[in-house]
Structure 1
Amino acid sequence: MTQNPHHLPRRELLKQLAAGAVGVSVLGATGFLSSASASPKSAPLKGNIRHSVSRWTYGDLSIDELCQLIKSLGFNAIDLVGPEDWPTLKKHGVDSSMCNGAELNLTDGFGGAEFHEALIPRYLKHIDLVADAGYTNLICFSGNRRGMDDETALSNAVKGLKQILPKAQQRGVVLQMELFNSKVDHPDYLADSSAWGIELCKRLGSPNFKLLYDIYHMQIMEGDIISTIKQHHQYFGHYHTAGVPGRHEIDDSQELNYLAIAKAIRDLPFSGYLAQEFIPTADSKAGRAAALAQAIQICDV
């Protein structure tokens, strides 16, 4: 009886990947896993979930290497890639599933009225860049609270975002504001709850503004992940993963059941991406490739 690859320890998964036993081979030319001994061709992904991976979590690889890796694993999208790397993505037929580069940083965002003068021209320019490149999603951030109450911050964000949303709507670009936790990783971050983000979506009332629902961050802040996704999915345009605690692999070493979460997303009217954003713990490129292969298998429902 074949062991379920979803539940294999990472070391055993790596052995089976190298042998082709779990249906995944990675290009030997990039120094990850040898495909020389891989037997049958890898089975195609089911196609119910659109998979992606965040660029920064595999920052030890060149963008060219990362494109080769994900193509060998059967998907073709990378999150958080800016214009300088789009030509490489296009060379490989890979989608920039969440574009970046318009933001100032993670702390100075649309919740602070004092940052609008710098943010608005940057986003107006970047919306055109994204649309001209044939992409759809552009990330944005609330920034930090800096003592503001929720209502002041919401009013500020609405005022700023309304100055760029007409251009986004005209060009077919969707602005996606990421939800972060303020307990562990991003102290004082403003959009640290789904409720605040959903209220912002309601006030803007535009199909071109959505929330990037980061499952890792929202598990830390509020939990109740599957229920929240089912109840409020119309406001969520994109999902990020990572294990809690620690932001590492989404295997059985952490508290979230990503198999069940992926099934809940699959069953929604949702056509966006589920992007892996965990920080791999393996020291070797092969081990990190195996971790990504395992995460894709868990979420490919």
Structure 2
Amino acid sequence: MSQNLDRRTALKNIIAGTAAIGVSSGFSALAMEKTDTEMKSVKLKGNINHSVCRWCFSTFDVEALCIEAKKLGLKGIDLVGPKDWPTLKKHGLESTMCNGAEINLVDGFNDPKFHDTLIKNYSEMIPLVAAAGYKNLICFSGSKRGKDDETGWKNCVEGLKKLMPLAEKHNVVLVMELLNSKVNHKDYQCDNTPWGVELCKRLGSENFKLLYDIYHMQIDEGNVISTIKSSHQYIAHYHTAGVPGRNEIDETQELYYPAIMKAIVDTGFKGFVAQEFIPKQADKFASLKKAIAICDI
């Protein structure tokens, strides 16, 4: 995890519209002036639908990120809310995992005191996601704060069941992210695949699934490929990052992503795989390009 930027801080800043812009808007204009040859998209194999998480590149404005994403052959950008959807559409990109209805990562569906706010937020956001032509909307369990697994499941079901009819009506999938509680998100409840799968079973709706974050689950449970194979029917989306450190997914870290991607493809998965690493290299888009090549099996 970067000392200067973590996901919780970056997402909070982006949602609030106060993310630091490390590159002036002139970057977009300069990028637009490149030749047609330079602007052509990278030709990918088509087995993986590639995306990238907005917060990892929050030092660039959305326009600049869209331009680079398009050049690299990406299908969309993750964790983007309604304010920036028009920019994505202008560049022919999807909002592959929508956000903006959540309170934060710690105040989630496992605590009834947040249900009124969450149900209001998601009831307003679900129709917006559908009207924009998108499908996935992220949600979080929240921190345990002393709650055991059974209490967490019961509370999540109680809150989420009130939203399932609306999600089903609009064909929107609420996707709960699996986050590690050992390193980055202490006390987070949905911190392992079995817990998330059990919640999916109790809700019993195709409009509630999991975001399997490979980085997070390598830290908390390991056994990544076997877990993907056994639980893929409950997974709507994947995130990547290098372990340890959440940086580039290259030879500097312990996971071999080509094998993981092959396992995902072998399950018949047709959703999106989003890069969610924090680039350490000076040329952040070169790191992104390399990560996509590693995952494009």
1:54 aligns with 2:53: yes
Residue 267 (structure 1) shift: 1.2
**Counterparts in 2 of 1:203 and 1:299: CA distance versus 1, 3 Å:** same
8 Å contact from structure 1 (residues 67, 76) kept in 2:
no
Q: How does 1:221-236 map to 2 (within 5 A)?
A: 221-236=220-235
Q: Which residue of 1 aligns with 2:106?
A: 107
8 Å contact from structure 1 (residues 181, 221) kept in 2:
yes
Q: Which residue of 2 aligns with 1:91?
A: 90
Q: Which residue of 2 aligns with 1:170?
A: 169
Rounded to whole Å, the distance in 2 between the matches of 1:156 and 1:42 is 45
User: Residue by residue, what CA displacement relative to the aligned partner does 1:215-242 show, whole Å, maximum 9, x if unpaired?
Assistant: 0000000000000000110001000000
1:195 aligns with 2:177: no
Letter in 2 for 1:147: G
Rounded to whole Å, the distance in 2 between the matches of 1:149 and 1:60 is 39
Residue 75 (structure 1) shift: 1.8
Rounded to whole Å, the distance in 2 between the matches of 1:47 and 1:262 is 12
Structure 1 residue matching 2:104: 3-state secondary structure: coil
Structure 1 residue matching 2:127: 3-state secondary structure: helix
Rounded to whole Å, the distance in 2 between the matches of 1:192 and 1:30 is 42
Q: How does 1:1-301 map to 2 (within 5 A)?
A: 44-283=43-282, 287-301=283-297
Residue 270 (structure 1) shift: 1.1
Structure 2 residue matching 1:212: 3-state secondary structure: strand
Rounded to whole Å, the distance in 2 between the matches of 1:175 and 1:37 is 39
8 Å contact from structure 1 (residues 143, 190) kept in 2:
yes
8 Å contact from structure 2 (residues 242, 254) kept in 1:
yes
**Counterparts in 2 of 1:230 and 1:104: CA distance versus 1, 3 Å:** same
**Counterparts in 2 of 1:259 and 1:124: CA distance versus 1, 3 Å:** same
Rounded to whole Å, the distance in 2 between the matches of 1:47 and 1:59 is 27
Residue 266 (structure 1) shift: 1.2
Rounded to whole Å, the distance in 2 between the matches of 1:200 and 1:76 is 29
Rounded to whole Å, the distance in 2 between the matches of 1:29 and 1:109 is 36
TM-score, length basis structure 1: 0.86
Letter in 2 for 1:224: N
Structure 2 residue matching 1:216: 3-state secondary structure: helix
Residue 174 (structure 1) shift: 0.4
8 Å contact from structure 1 (residues 53, 275) kept in 2:
yes
8 Å contact from structure 2 (residues 28, 63) kept in 1:
no
Rounded to whole Å, the distance in 2 between the matches of 1:135 and 1:48 is 20
Rounded to whole Å, the distance in 2 between the matches of 1:119 and 1:63 is 27
Residue 29 (structure 1) shift: 6.4
8 Å contact from structure 1 (residues 241, 278) kept in 2:
yes
Rounded to whole Å, the distance in 2 between the matches of 1:206 and 1:61 is 37
Higher mean alpha-carbon deviation, 265-274 vs 194-203, is at 265-274
**Counterparts in 2 of 1:160 and 1:264: CA distance versus 1, 3 Å:** same
User: Residue by residue, what CA displacement relative to the aligned partner does 1:7-28 show, whole Å, maximum 9, x if unpaired?
Assistant: xxxxxxxxxxxxxxxxxxxxx9
CA-based RMSD of the aligned residues comes to 2.0
Letter in 2 for 1:298: I
Rounded to whole Å, the distance in 1 between the matches of 2:47 and 2:281 is 29
Rounded to whole Å, the distance in 2 between the matches of 1:228 and 1:267 is 13
Letter in 2 for 1:242: A
**Counterparts in 2 of 1:237 and 1:42: CA distance versus 1, 3 Å:** closer
Residue 31 (structure 1) shift: 6.1
Residue 113 (structure 1) shift: 1.1
Residue 37 (structure 1) shift: 12
Rounded to whole Å, the distance in 2 between the matches of 1:67 and 1:297 is 18
Residue 272 (structure 1) shift: 0.6
**Counterparts in 2 of 1:177 and 1:43: CA distance versus 1, 3 Å:** closer
Contiguous gaps of at least 5 residues in structure 2: 1-26
Count of matched residue positions in the alignment of Structure 1 and Structure 2: 271
Which structure has the greater CA radius of gyration? Answer: 1
8 Å contact from structure 1 (residues 80, 96) kept in 2:
yes
Rounded to whole Å, the distance in 2 between the matches of 1:106 and 1:174 is 18
User: Residue by residue, what CA displacement relative to the aligned partner does 1:263-292 show, whole Å, maximum 9, x if unpaired?
Assistant: 111111211101000000123xxx101000
**Counterparts in 2 of 1:171 and 1:156: CA distance versus 1, 3 Å:** same
8 Å contact from structure 1 (residues 262, 299) kept in 2:
yes
TM-score, length basis structure 2: 0.87
8 Å contact from structure 1 (residues 49, 274) kept in 2:
yes
Structure 1 residue matching 2:280: 3-state secondary structure: coil
8 Å contact from structure 2 (residues 42, 71) kept in 1:
no
Residue 76 (structure 1) shift: 2.4
